[in-house]
Amino acid sequence: MTFASLGLCAEILDAVAEQGYDSPSPIQAEAIPAVLAGRDLMAAAQTGTGKTAGFTLPLLQGLMGGPRVKSNQCRALVLTPTRELAAQVADSVSTYGKNLPLRSNVVFGGVKINPQMQRLRGGSDILVATPGRLLDLHSQNAVRFDQLEVLVLDEADRMLDMGFIHDIKRILKLLPSQRQNLLFSATFSSEIRSLAKGLINDPVEVSVTPRNSTAETVEQQLYSVDKNRKSALLTQLIKDNDWQQVLVFTRTKHGANRLSRHLEGKGIKAAAIHGNKSQGARTKALAQFKSGELRTLVATDIAARGLDIDQLPQVVNFDLPNVAEDYVHRIGRTGRAGASGHAVSLVCADETKQLVGIERLISQQIPRVVVEGFEATHELPETDLSRKPKKPKKPKKPKEGHRDGQRSGENARGHKPPGNQPRRRRSRAGGNKGASGNKAVSGNR
């Protein structure tokens, strides 16, 4: 199969060929015809499978020959969870739409809003946005949706994880009911299907990879090491193996800062990106990493989601994630589009629970490696893969009369109001029990 057989116009085919692609990936082969046919779509695909082009190419094709976009309006809206992913999608729109008379814009938080408002005055055939900034712009009448034809929710599972569900529902109320809806997610979890019920109409479902599977092109290794020796081991691995481009994941922002300072002190050019960094600092660090000026990029999960780095050879889990599914997303940064990759995890005894959850999720034992001089005090146990991972318990609903789980008689801060309070009598028959208590284009065309 070729891109030409999918019904794309010559202008788009030329732009695709310029990027060196001649045949669609599995997700593109299934998604593009469905979108061009006007169908709603639910697509599950791992990072690195080409899903961004899977919706940008048919979006561009479908908007050709339509009505001229009016001031402050948009015809297609793509919602993404992070600034980095928004920039990636916008870059894809610009790259593949370079030969078309269509106008695109990207808006996200962390930068000044006035320049974005000015660009939106010319209208947007395709607008890529993060939910919070989009609502801010709408509240100032900088963007309207009377001309909206298509809505795309990209990385929908991550949007729910990051707590955007209320923003998404607010946005949906602002949109015209007659529209095409495209939902892309790493998995079709129960939460995603619940969201889709009020959003998608008779969708085509596309799933090109087994749920929670890791790419076969990624070689995985686990280094058992004590917690206080992790930084030294990572430094040695980078130097001994001559790793030139390494994406390192930490669990916390402070951990990312601390590790990047350590690596810099050992002569390894590094930078950290996380939610506390300004958008300018994050963009600069990513650009330096891509160009090779930075050897190591240390990131938290939220900051790294949506990073599009071609041929990234090396991913390191300095800390294992608390959520097992995030392991799959992390190592999906390497081994993309059929290329080979290498994923290393530095694991201490304190992370045994997380390791067991990950290995049961991916249904495989990650090969253990011991480096001389870095032997762990406590060996990591072998995971029993026959046991299924436990589902997290749902939080108990607060009893009637309680607000957000607070005890009756307490205010919103959890303190009892002043004044005399009647005492409860303790019953004789047992006592009173009481009440129980987160490839792409920007700019204008």
* 238 found inside a domain: yes
Evaluate whether residue 21 is within a structural domain. Answer: yes
Question: Tokens for 36?
Answer: 């061009």
Whether this model's pTM surpasses 0.85: no
| pLDDT on residue 431 | 43
- Please indicate, yes or no, whether residues 87 and 185 belong to a single structural domain of this protein: yes
pLDDT band at 278 (very low <50, low <70, confident <90, very high): confident
Residue at 364 is within a domain: yes
In a domain, 342, yes or no: yes
Range of the domain at 300: 218-369
Mean pLDDT of 330-345: 76
In a domain, 444, yes or no: no
360 and 223 in a common domain: yes
Q: Which of 113-117, 216-220, 289-293, 407-411 has the lowest average pLDDT? A: 407-411
Are the C-beta atoms of 343 and 120 separated by less than 8 Å?
no
Same domain, 191 and 329: no
Boundary of a domain, candidates 369, 385, 401: 369
User: Is residue 86 classed exposed, middle or buried when 0-12, 13-18 and 19+ CB atoms within 10 A define those classes?
Assistant: buried
Residues 144 and 240 in one domain: no
- Do 150 and 180 have their domain in common? yes
Strongest mean pLDDT among 268-272, 280-284, 439-443: 268-272
- Rounded Cα distance between 228 and 267, Å, is 20
pLDDT at position 442 over 80: no
pLDDT on residue 310: 64
Contacts of 286-291 with C-beta under 8 Å, sequence gap 24+, read 286/84, 289/245, 289/247
User: Do residues 126 and 267 share a domain?
Assistant: no
Rounded to whole angstroms, how far apart are CA atoms 329 and 117? 34
Tell me: do 171 and 62 sit in the same domain.
yes
302 within a domain of the structure (yes/no): yes
Q: Where does a domain end: 339, 369, 399?
A: 369
Residue 187 pLDDT more than 80? no
In the listed set 369, 390, 424, which residue is the last one of a domain according to the structure?
A: 369
Does the residue 239 lie in any domain? yes
Q: Which pair of structure tokens corresponds to residue 341?
A: 């990759």
Q: Which of 144, 143, 183, 182 is nearest to 160 (CA)?
A: 183
Say if residue 256 is in the same domain as residue 309: yes
Cα–Cα dist 139/62, whole Å: 29
In a domain, 431, yes or no: no
How high does pLDDT run on average in the chain? 82
Domain count, the chain: 2
Please state, for a pLDDT cut of 90, what percent of the chain lies above it.
48
Is 222 found in the same domain as 121?
A: no
Contact between 11 and 298 under an 8 Å Cβ cutoff? The reply is: no
pLDDT at 107 over 90: yes
| More confident: 286 or 103 | 103
pLDDT, average across residues 191-202: 82
**Among 207-216, 285-294, 338-347, which stretch is predicted with the lowest mean pLDDT?**
207-216
Q: How confident is the model at residue 350 (pLDDT cuts 50, 70, 90)?
A: very high
Which of the listed ranges 130-139, 197-206, 431-440 does the model predict with the highest average pLDDT?
Answer: 130-139
Task: Indicate if 203 and 228 belong to the same structural domain.
Answer: no
Q: Does 195 lie in the same domain as 126?
A: yes
Q: Are residue 140 and residue 271 in the same domain, yes or no?
A: no
Q: What is the CATH number of the domain that holds 133?
A: 3.40.50.300
Q: What is the pLDDT of residues 216-225, one digit of tens each?
A: 678 899 999 9
Angle between helices 324-331 and 352-362 (to 10 degrees): 70
Pick the more confident residue, 160 or 177: 177
| Mean of pLDDT values over 328-352 | 81
The better pLDDT of the pair 387, 321 is held by: 321
How far is residue 199 CA from its own chain's centroid?
20
Look at residue 408 in the predicted model and tell me its pLDDT: 36
Helix axes 83-96, 279-291, angle to 10 degrees: 60
